Amino acid sequence: MTSLAPDEFAPEATYLNTASYGLPSARSLTAVQEANARWSSGRGAPATQDHLVPQLRESFARLLDGATADDIALGGGVAPLIAPIAVALPPNAEVLVAEGEFASVTMPFLYRGDLTVRVVPLERIIEEVRPETDLVAVSVVQSADGRMTDLPALRAATTANSARLLVDATQAASWLPLTFADADYWVCATFKWLIGARSVTFFAAGPEAAAAARPVNLSWYAAEDRWAELYKPVALSTAARRFDSTPDWLGVIAASAGISLIEELTVEKINAHNLDLADRFRAGLSALDVAFVPNRSPIVSVQGAGDAAQRLERAGVMTSARNGGLRFSFHLYNDIDDVDRALEVLADK
């Protein structure tokens, strides 16, 4: 099995670390270089590419089946886009989170100081939703080890208990089909599986859920007519972009190029490719009698092997140590040779 886009990527190492940071595509590097060249020549600042922002909203809406561009806001990080949800909750509201959840999801609630944050094992999160629960906040795919949330089942539980559901799709978008109706709120960074930019993050919410959130850190970019209201603000946008922060336009250029490749290849094709590689890797680990966290996602965590990350890096295999485990992640630029090389280095102790 070859990589899905050999003309777009040329890694010199065995790169199995997309769960930390995705590789940039050739089109992304070219687009950013061209923008920088125009900027340095004085013939166009990055903001002249602002027309890409509405296109980027539309692209992410297409990846989130059932969403529209009006449901999408752009920010610079996951936690700042969760903040409007966290600040709008009443004092003593109960927020249910998964044990071991990535800190950007939990910290906006944990450190507000007057909320009840209840932590439960991911495997029990559906049955732990109760009438007292106001919000459930969870990742679609867990950062540390790739365990997955049954979103339709969790959505049914939150609906039955009149709770809202916030999900982080950062480790899922691009390879896992996503449905807008499966949550009230979505957040997603683009610099991992969407091979975008560290400075561009999506927020998505329908009109009813968005109305329950409270815009914070308001930016001129969130105005109804932002270019006309630069010096005389009149009103926030009525669409989800009222949660926008001022974009990093170079990041928007990179993210737009990355998501265009994702759309060309299709989520379905990327899904099959990534899972096939991860399945091959898990089969190899089993043959080596190496323990791993059971799941079926492109993220594979070898239990208790975090200390081996540096040894693998010296051998040219790029992974990451997370939560005591050694985390491997397989994406569109990986191939069978990458899988076999990782297994070879693991076996050579």
- Cβ proximity of 73 and 219 under 8 Å: no
Summarised one tens digit per residue, pLDDT across range 246-303 is: 999 999 999 999 999 999 999 999 999 999 999 999 999 999 999 999 999 999 999 9
Please work out, in degrees rounded to the nearest 5, the angle formed at the alpha carbon of residue 183 by the alpha carbons of 202 and 114.
Answer: 85
| pLDDT(183) > 90 | yes
| pLDDT(349) > 90 | no
User: Are residue 119 and residue 38 in the same domain, yes or no?
Assistant: yes
Summarised one tens digit per residue, pLDDT across range 117-164 is: 999 999 999 999 999 999 999 999 999 999 999 999 999 999 999 999
Summarised one tens digit per residue, pLDDT across range 308-318 is: 999 999 999 99
Domain boundary residue, one of 264, 295, 312:
264
Tokens of 243: 């949660």
Domain boundary residue, one of 204, 235, 264:
264
User: Are residue 241 and residue 134 in the same domain, yes or no?
Assistant: yes
Query: Which CATH number belongs to the domain containing residue 323 in this structure?
Result: 3.90.1150.10
Number of domains in the chain: 2
User: Are residue 145 and residue 281 in the same domain, yes or no?
Assistant: no
Chain Cα centroid distance, residue 295: 19
**CA–CA separation, 31 vs 167, rounded Å?**
31
- Cβ proximity of 317 and 345 under 8 Å: yes
CB under 8 Å to 191, separation ≥6 — which residues?
A: 21, 22, 197, 198, 200
The chain-wide mean pLDDT, for the chain, equals 97
- Cβ proximity of 329 and 308 under 8 Å: no
Domain of residue 275: give its range: 14-25+266-347
pLDDT score of 107: 97
User: Are residue 231 and residue 316 in the same domain, yes or no?
Assistant: no
Arithmetic mean of pLDDT, 87-95: 98
Summarised one tens digit per residue, pLDDT across range 8-30 is: 998 999 999 999 999 999 999 99
Predicted TM-score (pTM) of the model is 0.96
Summarised one tens digit per residue, pLDDT across range 46-73 is: 889 999 999 999 999 999 999 999 999 9
Arithmetic mean of pLDDT, 226-238: 95
User: Are residue 173 and residue 298 in the same domain, yes or no?
Assistant: no
Tokens of 22: 């995705």
Buried/exposed 24-56: b ≥16 CB within 10 Å, e otherwise? bbebbeebbeebeeebeeeeeebeebeebbeeb
